[in-house]
Amino acid sequence: MADKAQPDSTPQRPAPSRRRGAALEQAILRAAMEELTETGYAGLTMERVARRAGTNKNAIYRRWPTRAALGVAAYRQFVVTNTQIPDTGDLRGDALEMLRRANRTWSSPTGGILRALLAGARDDPQLLAQLQERTADAGSAAWLTILARAVSRGEIGPEALHPRVATVAVVLLRDEFITRGYPEVPDSVLTDIIDEVYLPLLRGRGTDSPSS
Amino acid sequence: MADKAQPDSTPQRPAPSRRRGAALEQAILRAAMEELTETGYAGLTMERVARRAGTNKNAIYRRWPTRAALGVAAYRQFVVTNTQIPDTGDLRGDALEMLRRANRTWSSPTGGILRALLAGARDDPQLLAQLQERTADAGSAAWLTILARAVSRGEIGPEALHPRVATVAVVLLRDEFITRGYPEVPDSVLTDIIDEVYLPLLRGRGTDSPSS
DNA sequence: CAGGTACGAGACGTACCGTACCTTAATGGC
DNA sequence: GCCATTAAGGTACGGTACGTCTCGTACCTG
């Protein structure tokens, strides 16, 4: 038998002593996030994470039942959501800026991970919900904020302050990513969404109802 | 050494003679589709498909490089798209009927397969495009048709005949499936989409633009 | 009838899954 | 301070699937 030399490709963090509970949990999540950033969701395997965290699969399975759950947990822990809200002075500028940020997010490496997690958690509504919390583009709060400003400026009527209405633009953008697989959505699509759909929707709502 | 008895669970179609080219290709696609309907995309394995088709992995890999490509090819071959267009007499009825059909499709077994394929082809725009052709809800043709009827009835202005505008409703619906993982979207969501977003958008567009 | 080509068959090494089993260390109650 | 409890570590297992490779062989072509 040769030595136990294992010229492993994956980094193996030696266990300092014997970690327990929260300490070990954090080490696992950290290793999982590193795997995600380096090799993506495809590379997130229980065995690799265990090796990298300097532990074994047992410790992981005791905490998370599936790869998807582990991935979502790691993502939630380490990806901070940018909650800044643009304030350009007018609705179109704010909305466009929001879309551009979302576009950048989705096309970034982090966004790639998010997309993969979204696909991986496809049939687990609970996990999906956990992801949504950290996605924040679907979070209607930011959109409602810029709409509220627009209302106070008199750009649109207050009827527009409806969650489903507020997030229409970003939902359309996300659809481009999911159904078309864009690496990055061209800016013309963003302006198209704003000018052809979003603004007409906001301005048209409640302005009147043309007879019918 | 025990005998080579292999009480296999997966059906194994015996090869009649030695098929080649198109005949073999059809046999593989058929086996793939059967696997899809029985065990879903998760059960679509090169090995299982090969066994089922009475051939071997070689023949598959010569034709399709990945599982996703095989799945999409099989889906395209066997799932016929329902291209009927509702005609209820008014725009709201037509749109609602379109959404209800889409909802049924997405929540059916076939829809589950489609969703899985969509996730599986996540980072292959070419495959995604091939899927889109067969999806038809994204196909704006049907939506544009019902809109054209509404225009001729005077319900909405002709400015609404815009592909991105026309498909807004079904895109919002699809988003519910993908980000929320609904088994089936409740009807109230459909009416909400229609009444809060889609109709206001169509009626509001071009009615005017309130200064600014 | 010779030859190229594509298929059938199956083995191969790798990777990962999920589980099981035992050993060993940390922890908290007493 | 001691010991039972608990949670780690370590490791092996059977199983499945991947993707590749090597043959032998049937088919089609010229």
Interface subset of A 69-108, CB within 8 angstroms of B: none
pLDDT digits (tens, 9 = 90+) for B87-133: 999 999 999 999 999 999 899 898 889 889 988 998 888 898 888 87
- Cα A156 to Cα A79, A168, A195, B160, B191, distances in angstroms: 34, 16, 14, 20, 23
> Residue A149 falls within a domain, yes or no?
yes
> Residue A212 falls within a domain, yes or no?
no
Q: What confidence score (pLDDT) does residue A135 get?
A: 73
> Residue B86 falls within a domain, yes or no?
no
Domain boundary among A34, A53, A78: A78
Mean pLDDT of A179-205: 91
* Domain identity same for A45 and A116: no
Closest-approach residue (CA) in chain A for B178: A122
Confidence of residue B211 (pLDDT cuts 50, 70, 90): very low
Nearest-Cα distance to chain B for A99, in Å, is 16
Residue-range definition of the domain harbouring residue A25: 21-78
Confidence of residue B45 (pLDDT cuts 50, 70, 90): very high
- Weakest mean pLDDT among A49-58, A203-212, B48-57: A203-212
Q: What confidence score (pLDDT) does residue A140 get?
A: 85
Check whether B39 has a pLDDT greater than 80.
yes
What would the DSSP string read from start to end of A71-121? HHHHHHHH----------SSHHHHHHHHHHHHHHHHHSHHHHHHHHHHHHT
* Domain identity same for A116 and A41: no
* Domain identity same for B172 and B114: yes
Distance from residue A48 (CA) to nucleotide D15 (C1'), in Å? 19
* Domain identity same for A55 and A101: no
pLDDT digits (tens, 9 = 90+) for B53-68: 888 899 999 999 999 9
Q: What confidence score (pLDDT) does residue B23 get?
A: 78
* Domain identity same for A169 and A115: yes
* Domain identity same for B97 and B74: no
Mean pLDDT of A94-110: 92
Q: What confidence score (pLDDT) does residue A47 get?
A: 92
- Weakest mean pLDDT among B92-96, B183-187, B208-212: B208-212
Confidence of residue A21 (pLDDT cuts 50, 70, 90): confident
Confidence of residue B8 (pLDDT cuts 50, 70, 90): very low
* Domain identity same for A107 and A54: no
Mean pLDDT of B182-190: 92
Check whether B14 has a pLDDT greater than 90.
no
> Residue B209 falls within a domain, yes or no?
no
> Residue B138 falls within a domain, yes or no?
yes
> Residue B30 falls within a domain, yes or no?
yes
* Domain identity same for A129 and A52: no
With CA of A50 and C1' of each nucleotide, the nearest comes out as D9
- Cα A125 to Cα A16, A69, B176, B187, distances in angstroms: 37, 11, 11, 19
* Contact yes or no for A175 and B175 at CB 8 A: yes
Structurally, how many domains does chain B consist of? 2
Say what the ipTM of the complex is. Answer: 0.82
Q: What confidence score (pLDDT) does residue A22 get?
A: 79
* Domain identity same for A70 and A134: no
CA distance B33 to B58: 18
* Domain identity same for B195 and B96: yes
* Domain identity same for B199 and B107: yes
Q: Residue B211 contacts by C-beta under 8 Å, 6 or more apart in sequence?
A: none
* CATH code for the domain in which residue B105 is found: 1.10.357
With CA of B56 and C1' of each nucleotide, the nearest comes out as C8
Q: Identify which has the larger pLDDT, B136 or A159.
A: A159
CA distance A44 to A119: 14
Instruction: Check CB contact of B172 with chain A, cutoff 8 Å.
Output: yes
Q: Phi and psi of A12, rounded to 5°?
A: -120, 110
* Domain identity same for B154 and B66: no
A64 touches strand D (CB under 7 A): no
> Residue B74 falls within a domain, yes or no?
yes
**pLDDT over 90 percentage in chain A:** 53
Q: What confidence score (pLDDT) does residue B9 get?
A: 47
Q: What confidence score (pLDDT) does residue A74 get?
A: 92
- Weakest mean pLDDT among B18-22, B31-35, B182-186: B18-22
Confidence of residue A210 (pLDDT cuts 50, 70, 90): very low
Domain boundary among A78, A107, A125: A78
> Residue A150 falls within a domain, yes or no?
yes
Check whether A59 has a pLDDT greater than 80.
yes
CA distance A181 to A77: 26
- Identify the residue whose tokens are 């979302």: A102
Instruction: Check CB contact of A168 with chain B, cutoff 8 Å.
Output: yes
* CATH code for the domain in which residue B66 is found: 1.10.10.60
